[in-house]
A and B are shown apart, each in its own frame.
Chain A
Amino acid sequence: MACGTAYWRWGQLVSLNFLAGKFELKYVNQGGLRVRSYRSVNELPDDWNEALPIPTPMKREFLDALESSEINNIGTYYLRVTDQDGNVLAQANVFVSETDFSTFDTTLPASARSTIKRWIPGFMSFRIVEVGYFTMIGEGVAIAEGADLSCVLPAIDKELQEIADKEEADFVLVRDVPESSYESYLSALAVLGYSPSIGFPNTLLPVKWRRFEDYLADINSKTRLKFRNSLKIQERFDVEWKIVDDFRSMTGDLSRLWDNVNKKAKDYTREKLDQRFFDACSDKLADQCEVITFFHAGRMIAFMLNMIGGDDYIVLDWGVDYSFEHYRQANLYRAATLISLQRAIELGKSKMELGITNYTPKLTLGAEVVPLAYFIRHRIDKRYGRTLARLVTDSINLPDTSLHATAGKIGTRVHDMLAFEQRVKRDQNPFGASDILDRVGSYNRSSSMRLSGIYGLYPEFNSAQRSVVTFSDSRERVLLGTNSYLGLADDPRVISAAVDALHRYGSGCSGSPLLNGTLDIHKQLEEELAIFSGREAVALCSTGYQTNLAAISALCGRGDVVLMDARNHRSLFDGVRLSGADCVIYRHADMAHLERLLARTKGRKRMIITDSVFSMEGTIADLQTLVGLASAHDARVFVDESHAVGVFGCHGRGIAELQGVEDRVDIVMGTFSKAFAGLGGFVAGSADLIDYIKHNAGGHIFSASLPPSVVATVLASLDIIRKEPERRQAPLDRAKFMALELQAIGYDAPYHGSQIVPVILGNYTLALSAYKRFMDEGVYVNPVGPPAVPESSSGFRTSYIATHGWDDLKVAVEVFRRHYRDFYETVNREEDEHAA
C-alpha cells in the first residue's frame, strides 16, 4: 500500500501578501520536488538499489530483513525525492520508534528511575521519527550526484512533519551525519528548527591488507602477541569457532546470547532483537550475512553476526554466555573481531565497520573513531529539540582516541573529537558566542524538566496560605510548604488591619522613604520593631532579600572580609557581592573551619554573617560559639533571623534571644513575609548604625516604601506575636510530630529543633517526581535539590505552621506512609545492584 505523497515546491520567496486574513506565498519556481513515501519494501520501485548510490543498510534486502522481523514494532517509511522530470534526487530511510531517554541521565539510579516510571509512565520516553537505520549505522539520506542537499532536506522535512503528525511523534531526528556533511546539514536544518547533537561515533577499520598476517605485521609486537594468543582459543580453552552461512537452525541460540549482552549494556540500548530478527536475517540476507559461532562442550557460547555489503563488512551483533567458565580469560569478543577482520580481508572488502559503543577493544584493533552528528527537532516546540539535543550530547562520552598504539602503527585517521563536540555545542546555542545573551541560549534546566514531565514549579495557589489550600485546579491539598509560620496570613485581625489601612492611606507609597514614601505608620512600625527587638533603631526595606542587599552593601566594602556559612541564603551572598568585600566561606555550621579562617584573616576588617535558622535544612546556628569566635578575633556579627523571628525566643526575637547572645550580635535582620504574613524586611541595630544605613543603603533609599496595607499587616502581626506567645510553640510541636511520624515510617527526616523538617530522598529528579506525585495525592511539599542542597540531600522541604490542623497532618502522614515503599524499595534495589 503506497501511503502518502507530498508535493513540495522549492523556490525563492519573493513576496508575501496578507489578503483576507491569509498569507499568500509566491515563489519563483526553481523546479518542484516530489517526495513519495512507501510503507513496505514490497512497494519500492524496482530501481531502489540502483537509482543512486546508497549505503548498504538502505539496500532493499537489508530493509526487508528488518521490516519482516517486526522488531520493536517500528513503523517504516521509505522516501524517494524526485524532481519534476522524475529524476531521482534522493532516498531516505525513516522509522518511527519509542526511545527511553531516562537511561541517559547518569545521575539517576536505576531504581529511582523505575519508581518514577511507575508514577509517570511517559517519563523521558519519546516517540521519534528517525532518519537513519534501526540496527545499523549510516547516513539515512542518500543523495544523487549533483543534487543539492539544501533543496532536498527541506522537502524531506516536510514529509517528516506529516509522518510525525500522523504518528503523534514527539521528535524528528536525523541520525548519523558524518562530520564532512555536518555543515551542509546544519545550514539546511537549523532554519527548520533542528538542533545539532553529537551522536554515538561509529568505528571503522580501513582494510588495506591482502592477508591477515600483513595486518599483524603492521601492528606492534606486544599487541601482535596478544592477538595471536586471542586466536588460540581452541588449544587454550577448548573453544571451536566456525563461519556459518546458513544459521537458520541456530537462531534460538543467537537470540539467547544476544539477550545476555543487551541486559548488561551500559550505554544506551533500545533494540530488542529476538529470534524472528535472526530468522529474518537468515531468510532475507542469505548471501549477505554470516555468523561466526563459538562452541564449547557442544554448546554455542558466543557469536558475532556480520553483514556483507558491496564494499564493506559490517560487525552487527554480538552475543555471549557470561557463565562460560573461561569467559574472562578467553576474550571471545576480541577473537571474534579478529576473525571478522580476517573475513573482511578474505572477501576483499575495503573497510570493516565495528559500530557504536564499547570503544576500547575497537581502538585496540586500530579502528578509526568516526564522529557523527544527530539533528533533532521537536514536532511542535523547537526549544525541546534543543533540550533533547543537549541531553544527548551531554550523555555521550566520546572515547579518548589518542592513547592507542595500533592506530599510529597502521596509519588510522584520528579525529579531534573534542573540537567536534565543542563545535556542536556552540551550534546548539541560538545566540552567538559573542552575544551577551548566549547564557540565555545555553540555559536548559527548566526546559529539560518540562520535557521530562516533572516540572511543577510555580504552582498556583488560589486561596490564603493555611493548613489546607486550594490550587488553580480547584483541588485542596494539605500545605506542608509555607513559611507563614504563625498562621497569620488569613487571621481576621490581620486582614482587617490591612483593609483599614488601604482605606485610609490608599494603595501604595509613590516613592523613597527618604523623600516622599514615609507614612506615620512606617515610623510607628520602625519604633515598635526597635522595642520588640531590643535594639536602638530599625530600618525597613521592601523585601527581605533587599534588606540583606541594602544592609550588607552599606556596611561592608572593598578590602573587607565577610565570613559566610556555606548554606547562607542567596540574598546574603548577593549582598556581599554587591558590597565588593572579599567573601570567604566556611562549611555549614563548622565553627572550627570558621575559626581557622578568622586566624588566617587576622588584621583585616571582618564581619561574620549567618542565618540563624537555615531555610532548607532546618538547622539552627550555634550563635554562642560564633559570637565567642567573633569576640576573640575582633569581628562583627550579622545574623539573619528571617526564619526565626516570631517563632523562637521568649519574646519571639529569634535564635539570638533563645541562645542568650543578643548583646553580642551587632546587627540582626528579619523578614515580614514569613511569621509576619506580609512582605518586606527590617534591619535592627544601634541608632548610629541604622542612621547610616538609612542614608547610605541603596536598597533602602532607592526603592519605594512598603505599601500601607502591608505595614498595617505587619503591625497587626507584631501585636499578635507580642500578645500570643503560645503561638510560637505550635509550629515547633507540629514539626516535631511530623518528623517523628516520618522517622517511624522509615523516612530520613531529621528534626533539628526548628519548624522546618527536610525529607531526604537522595536524588533531585526523584524529588521533583515525588513532589508531583504528592500533589496528585493531596499534599503540597517543596522539592529541593542542587544548588540549594547537595544532590545527596535532595528531597522535600516541609515546614509547619501554628494553624496546621492535626487531622490535616495525619492525612499527610498517611500519604507519606503509602509512598514509603516506593522509596524503600528504591533503596533496597540499589543495594541489590551494588551487591551484584
Chain B
Amino acid sequence: MNMLHDRVVRLIEDVPGVRRKVENESRLVEDLGFDSIKMVELMGAIEDEFNLIITLDDATSISTVADLKSMVQEAMQAQGVS
C-alpha cells in the first residue's frame, strides 16, 4: 500500500504546475490545482504506470489523493493487473 502511495504521489508531483504538498487527503482540484487538462496528464501517467485503463467517469469521480489510490487499487483488481 505504501508503495502504491509513493508511486501515485510521485505521478501527481510530476504533473507540471501542481502546487502544494501532496497528502492523502489533498483534493486534486481545490488543493492541488488540477484542472481537466492536468487530470488527463495524470490519468495517462497512472494508466502507463499501472498498465490500466481509466475511464473519464472514473477520473471525474475522484476528489482526493486517497480516492485516486482506491480507484487504482480497484481498477488493478478488476482489470487483473498485479
Residues on A close to B: CB < 8 A? 561, 566, 573, 576-577, 582-587, 593, 596-597, 600-601, 786-787, 789-792
Contacts and interface: CB of A to CB of B under 8 A. Distances in A.
B40 A585 contact: yes
Contacts of B35: 786-787
Given A584-B53, A600-B51, A792 B40 contact: no
B53 A601 contact: yes
A584 B47 CA distance: 10
18 contacts: A566-B40, A573-B56, A576-B56, A582-B57, A584-B56, A585-B43, A586-B44, A587-B41, A593-B44, A593-B48, A596-B47, A597-B53, A600-B51, A600-B52, A600-B79, A601-B53, A792-B16, A792-B17
Given A585-B43, A593-B44, A790 B37 contact: yes
Contacts, number: 50
A53 B55 CA distance: 62
Contacts of B4: none
B55 A582 contact: yes
A566 B41 CA distance: 9
Nearest to B56: A583
Contacts of A791: 17
Most chain-B Cβ atoms within 10 A of its Cβ — which of A583, A585, A600, A601?
Answer: A585
Interface in B25-82: 35-38, 40-41, 43-44, 47-48, 51-57, 79
Contacts of A597: 47, 53
A597 B36 CA distance: 19
Nearest first, the 10 closest Cβ-Cβ pairs linking A and B are A583-B56, A582-B55, A566-B40, A787-B36, A790-B37, A600-B53, A786-B35, A584-B53, A587-B44, A585-B40
Contacts of A584: 53-56
Contacts of A786: 35-37
Contacts of A587: 40-41, 44
A787 B57 CA distance: 18
A694 B52 CA distance: 36
B5 to A, nearest CB: 20
Interface residues of B, number: 20
A797 to B, nearest CB: 16
Interface of B: 16-17, 35-38, 40-41, 43-44, 47-48, 51-57, 79
A786 B36 CA distance: 8
A768 to B, nearest CB: 16
Nearest to B38: A790
B59 to A, nearest CB: 8
B55 A596 contact: no
Contacts of B52: 600
Contacts of A582: 53, 55-57
Given A600-B51, A786-B37, A787-B36, A585 B17 contact: no
A445 to B, nearest CB: 12
A78 to B, nearest CB: 40
Contacts of B54: 584
A607 to B, nearest CB: 14
A301 to B, nearest CB: 34
Contacts of A561: 53
Nearest to A106: B19
B56 A585 contact: yes
Contacts of A586: 44
A584 B79 CA distance: 14
Given A585-B56, A586-B44, A597-B53, 8 more contacts: A566-B37, A576-B56, A584-B53, A587-B40, A596-B47, A786-B37, A790-B37, A790-B38
Contacts of B57: 582-583
Contacts of A787: 35-37
A620 B61 CA distance: 31
Contacts of B47: 596-597, 600
B72 to A, nearest CB: 14
B29 to A, nearest CB: 12
A583 B53 contact: no
A149 B36 CA distance: 45
Contacts of A566: 37, 40
Contacts of A789: 37
Most chain-A Cβ atoms within 10 A of its Cβ — which of B38, B41, B43, B47?
Answer: B47
A583 B55 contact: yes
Nearest to A425: B30
Given A791-B17, A792-B17, A585 B51 contact: no
A583 B56 CA distance: 5
